Amino acid sequence: MASRFFRSATDSESETDSSDNDSFISDEELSSDEDMSDADDDLKRDDQPKKNRFLKGGSDSDADSDDEDGGRRQIKSQKDKRYEEMESCVKTIENGEKNNDWTLISNGKCLTYDFIFLFFTLLVLQFTAEFDKLNKLMTKAQAGINGIVTPKFYIKCLVELEDFLQEAAQKEKAAKKKMNANNAKAMNAMKQKLKKNNKSFEDKIEQYRKDPDSLEEPAIIAVVATKKKSKNAFLAGSDSEDEGAPGSSTPAIDDAEFTTVGKGGKAVAEITSENLLQKLREILEARGKKSTDRNEQIVTLQRLLKDATSSYQSIKVLLALISSRFDANLSMTGYMQVELWRSVEKEINQLLKIFETDPSFYVFEVAEDFDDEDKDIIAKPGQPIGLRGSLISFVERLDDEFTKSLQNIDPHTTDYIDRMRDEAGLYAILVRSQVYFEKHNLAASIGRVVMRRLEHVYFKPEQVISQMEIATASVLGDHVKSSIITATDPAELVHQLCTYLYQQDVSVLRTRAMLCHIYHHALHQRFHVARDMLLMSHLQETIHQADIPTQILYNRVMVQLGLCAFRDGLIKESHSCLQEVQGSGRPKELLAQGVQMQRYGQPVAADQEQLERQRQLPFHMHINLELLECVYHTCSMLLEIPAQAQAGPNNKKVISKTFRRLLDYNERQAFLGPPENIRDHIMGAAKALASGEWEKSRDLIMAIKIWELMPNTQHIKDMLARKIQEEGLRTYLFTYASYYSTVGLAQLSKMFDLSTVNVSSIVAKMIWQEELSASLDQVTQCVVLHQVEQSRVQQLALQFADKAVNLVEQNERLLEQKNAEQRPEQQQQQKDRRGNKGQPGNQQNRNAVSGQRPFQQRTGGRNNFNNVFGNAVRGGRTQSARR
């Protein structure tokens, strides 16, 4: 094999071509050959000059003399060549990352690092993993006395490759279409190699993640020679030690001829305050181009920021740097890395600090460009200068990236908790930017940032809001104070934020502010205030026309309102609020707390699934679905069981179809074991309540452990026990009234452990509402039951009345939907008619044209609350109550 190294170039080339397909070299031979390469290299270095001088002839000298005098070339040391070879491997790996091609990363090809062994190693490298080759080059470059330090681009490659592996693994889990087998196998192999290799560089990797600029990049030293070698320099050349020796044709190299160059051999220009803006303009012009390296731009902008000497230069560089950092993460599904996000947060705070300390400059979207952008600008006193930029877009993007990170991080890990700690800094930025917008009277930006601030506090308890405000005040100091939001009390703070948004021209902001305000009242047990606000806003009539995020917020408000009513003991109102969301069978999807893989028996499209995942709420904003289901079924039990006992076995009136279906399924079971989950407990309690065993029903309901998640647990359990006693009494009277002529109040009081006063009030209410055919004898303290049986005609008449009411309600729903669709066109026709006549019509004509009824005929009042209150996104409005 050693003879192969001394063959001529022509023989080597022909042998390489002929052996590409049928030669194979094992890993053992590769490692042994690479170990011998250093010794062979030294041997050839000693022999080669003598051989070249012996072969050098007149033709060679003639060729040298014929070269152009102006020819120039760069002479690089062996270390620099090693750097370039490793950079080439890193580029190959980066190309594989961009294409998600793990086969290229693991099995790619790269140029050899020694020209003398070119023809031998080309056959071996095509079977060598790209990552292994990079590590071998690194090991060889660091060996010996003249070994190099670990270069920064190598550590950067390890960090980016590790992050890319994690991102690829997350995408692979979430992706519906899996990658092919070769890529998956190569990616798994790459994980093992990278994990094993990174153990040796843990300190440098951690240092790079904390501060990428802490590792210095070795500069490539190039020597500019004044004379170009001949084409036969391979045979006639000499070592670098001979070039400056006496008698050599090459002159000695002076230190002044060394030039520091950057990537690609280009000279690095020194940055000064005079050419800083010019360099910034060149970076901005290259932004977005295909050949632009975003990471390199960020590093350059960081260096420009350090060299900035004036406020104008710092502002311009910061605006470009923040935009470049956001450009580095263009993925719709992924999220910005936490360290990168914190860097952006720090730079936005730095930008706001400049505006606070130097009021001579401010930023807004429609500022005019300057004639000479490369010239530094100094503002005159009292004449602030506006610079083009969008600070509100930076703040909103920072908030969106924070939400995306919470959507993608596992909520059951400590990483999610650590990420939540960053919300305090983000909230401080929102308050700080709000004060900046108030100072410069940017009304549109004030509304948007106030809405963001409200969305961070409306769903939190008042104690948490107070702590956030205290922490923000301590960070910003006394000099940053808002003029429109001055409250310190949490309830008053939310009120001021919402009141300001009610005055905005954008309808979306007003709608969302109203919903957030209602949610906050319901969360803090102010049910009647929240209910009145919802009814007065008439949002249930127009919410189906809103965007999807607003519809999700509306569903959350209805659910929170239902939970608030349940905590207050308002069972019927709670059931009305929860009916549309929980009764639909897909509360997880309606509340944006999960994605359904199938809908109506058909799989969800991939693009639709991706959109739904982007709308998911962070885990700390979720409403407990098990608690929601428990509350809904408990309310259904307390309403459905007495109604079922009143109507008898032929009852077609259903209050909760979901509960009735579960109860029927449970009754059809031949054998029933002890209750295991929430649903089993409620079904068992419902059957016990229907048979008059209220104590058993109470015990089953109290055995549910999820009540511990609600505040004032003991108060809620006492309320449920009292409701079960009252509904047990009503169910007993409905079921067994036909068997009694009279029944004493004291006996009923003893049976259901209620006071005589409570029993008397319940019976009197049933008689007044014509639910019970009886009379109350106050003298004897007895209930006199009247055995009145309805005739066949009366039964049919009642059934006909119920069907007629249902038909009227359905027709009114259809009419309302039709009017809602035709209303914009009719309003336009009405405007045209007014313009032609010049006189507005009376109120009655306007109602007729627009399809609206007079206010007195609308059914959105408080008296008809239970019929219109629970309408969710996809439903219409119930127009009239049953009489």
Asked whether residue 870 is assigned to any structural domain, the reply reads no
Residue where the block lists tokens 């910034």: 280
Instruction: Tell me what pLDDT residue 494 has.
Output: 95
Residue 783's pLDDT is what?
87
**Token representation of residue 732:** 């007993």
Indicate if 345 and 429 belong to the same structural domain: yes
Our measurement of the distance from residue 631's CA atom to the centroid of its chain's CA atoms, rounded to an integer in Å, reads 30
Do 160 and 232 share a domain, yes or no? no
Q: Do residue 798 and residue 832 come from a single domain?
A: yes
Both 168 and 20 in one domain: the answer is yes
**Sign of the dihedral through C-alpha 108, 114, 119, 124:** negative
Q: Which two tokens stand for residue 740?
A: 């009694």
Paired residues of 267 in beta bridges: 261
Decide if 31 is inside a domain. yes
Eight-class DSSP state of 19:
T
pLDDT of residue 705: 92
- Which range marks the domain in which residue 385 is found? 276-535
The whole-number mean pLDDT for each consecutive block of 10 residues of the chain, a chain of 883 residues, reads 43 42 40 44 44 44 44 60 74 65 47 35 40 75 61 79 78 67 72 78 79 62 42 41 43 47 53 78 83 85 88 91 85 82 94 90 80 72 83 94 93 93 94 93 92 95 94 89 90 95 93 96 95 93 91 95 94 93 88 79 77 90 94 93 81 81 86 86 92 90 92 92 92 86 88 90 89 85 80 84 90 85 67 55 42 41 44 40 36
H or E element at residue 386:
strand 385-388
Which residues are paired to 785 by β-bridges? 774
Could you give the CA distance from residue 706 to residue 678 in angstroms, rounded to a whole number?
8
Neighbour-count burial for 750-764, b at 16+ CB within 10 Å, e otherwise: ebbebeeebbbebbe
Pairing of strands 782-785, 774-777: antiparallel
CA distance 629 to 617: 19
List Cα–Cα distances, 155 to 102, 204, 221, in angstroms.
20, 7, 21
Total structural domains within the chain: 5
Are 510 and 533 in contact, with CB atoms under 8 Å apart? no
Same domain, 388 and 515: yes
Are residues 299 and 254 located together in one domain of the fold? Answer: no
Can you state the angle between helices 338-357 and 423-439, rounded to 10 degrees?
30
Final residue of a structural domain among 189, 214, 239:
214
DSSP per-residue codes, 577-602:
HHHHHHTTT-HHHHTTS---SEETTE
- Are 156 and 208 spatial neighbours (Cβ–Cβ below 8 Å)? yes
DSSP 106-133: HH-----S-STTHHHHHHHHTTS-HHHH
**Cβ neighbour number for residue 73 with a 10 Å cutoff:** 14
* Integer Cα distance of 778 and 744 in angstroms: 11
Same domain, yes or no, for 207 and 224? no
Q: Looking at the structure, do residues 300 and 439 belong to the same domain, yes or no?
A: yes
Cβ–Cβ under 8 Å, residues 309 and 273:
yes
Residue that is last in its domain, among 723, 741, 759: 741
- Determine the Cα–Cα distance for residues 365 and 374; give it in Å rounded to an integer: 20
Domain co-membership, 170 together with 234: no
User: Is position 731 within any domain?
Assistant: yes
pLDDT of residue 654: 80
Region at 209 (left for phi over 0; alpha for psi -120 to 50; beta for the rest): alpha
- 549 found inside a domain: no
Q: Which amino acid is at 184?
A: A
CB 771 within 8 A of CB 813: no
Tell me whether residue 877 is in a domain.
no
Question: Do 105 and 182 belong together in one domain?
Answer: yes
Q: Strand order in 774-777's β-sheet?
A: 742-744, 782-785, 774-777
Among the listed residues 627, 561, 610, 406, the one whose alpha carbon sits nearest the alpha carbon of residue 553: 561
| Residue whose token pair is 């104590």 | 695
- On whether both 137 and 21 belong to a single domain, the answer is yes
What are φ and ψ of residue 189, in 5° steps?
Answer: -65, -35
H or E element at residue 318: helix 311-327
DSSP for 186-199? HHHHHHHHHHHHHG
Gyration radius from the chain CA atoms: 40
Listed residue (746, 745, 780) closest to 763, CA to CA = 745
**What pLDDT is recorded for position 98?**
61
Q: Fill in the amino acid letter for 511.
A: T
pLDDT of residue 235: 39
Pairing of strands 220-225, 258-261: antiparallel
Within-domain flag for 580: no
Q: Is residue 90 part of a domain?
A: yes
CB 298 within 8 A of CB 317: no
- Asked if 635 and 563 touch (Cβ cutoff 8 Å), the reply is no
Same domain, 634 and 702: yes
Q: List residues bridging with 258 in a β-sheet.
A: 223
Instruction: Give the total residue count for the chain.
Output: 883
- What is the CB neighbour count within 10 angstroms for residue 673? 7
Element (DSSP H or E) covering residue 661: helix 657-667
Contact 128, 31 (CB under 8 A): no
- The secondary structure of residue 263, as a DSSP letter, is G
- Per the domain annotation, does 54 fall within a domain? no
